[in-house]
Structure 1
Amino acid sequence: MSSVQTQESVLSVETLLDQHDLIVYNDDVNTFDHVIESLIKVCRHDSIQAEQCTLIIHYNGKCQVKRGTFEKLEPMCTALLDRGISAVIE
């Protein structure tokens, strides 16, 4: 394996390791419409994606709604929490 291929492989692995998930949890407080609207505004989902995530949250108890670096996800997580939605970064 050449050094260029090795460097590219290492960079790819480092990029994957730096990825985190923004998880939203189900609750008995927020309405479907509020969660859908929040996912559209905060996570920039389109309406269909937001609706599907909301159904997954409702039926499975949680859903990974976004993947990215911690720095990218942290403001989204904070915005969802400010809207009363249970969210964490894993």
Structure 2
Amino acid sequence: MNWDIIKATYQEQYEEDVLTLSGEGCTIVLHNDDYNTFDHVIESLVEVCKHEAEQAEQCAWITHFVGKCEVKKGSEELLKSMYRKLKVRGLTVTLEK
């Protein structure tokens, strides 16, 4: 078992949780559109945001019915990269502070 990877994963999650609780950081918001399929949105959230498939599907349904969904919270530094990758995949997302 690679303990460095496990430690890094928990450290990243801890830092995201601290930023969220302190009110700092950013949020990636997914917006509904008429051209991305559910499968494409789910696949993108799993690959880019590291969501579980079930979580990604829930975000897709919320976005479909509500019009938008917060899909990731964390530091601006971490989220800028994810935001760009989601945009390249054609998703309608915003990065909000």
- TM-score band, normalised by the shorter chain? 0.7 to 0.9
Unaligned runs of 5+ in 2: 1-17
SS of structure 2 residue aligned to 1:65? strand
User: Which residue matches 1:25?
Assistant: 31
Q: Are 2:89 and 1:65 aligned?
A: no
Greater C-alpha Rg:
1
User: Which residue matches 1:52?
Assistant: 58
What TM-score, normalized by structure 1, do the two folds share?
0.81
Shift of 1:55: 0.2
What TM-score, normalized by structure 2, do the two folds share?
0.76
Aligned pair count reads 78
Shift of 1:19: 1.8
1:42 to 16, 25, 48: 48
Aligned partners of 1:21 and 1:37: how far apart in 2? Answer: 19
1:88 to 70, 82, 94: 94
What is the letter of the counterpart of residue 80 of structure 2? E
Q: Which runs of 4+ in 1 moved over 6 A?
A: none
Aligned partners of 1:77 and 1:88: how far apart in 2? Answer: 7
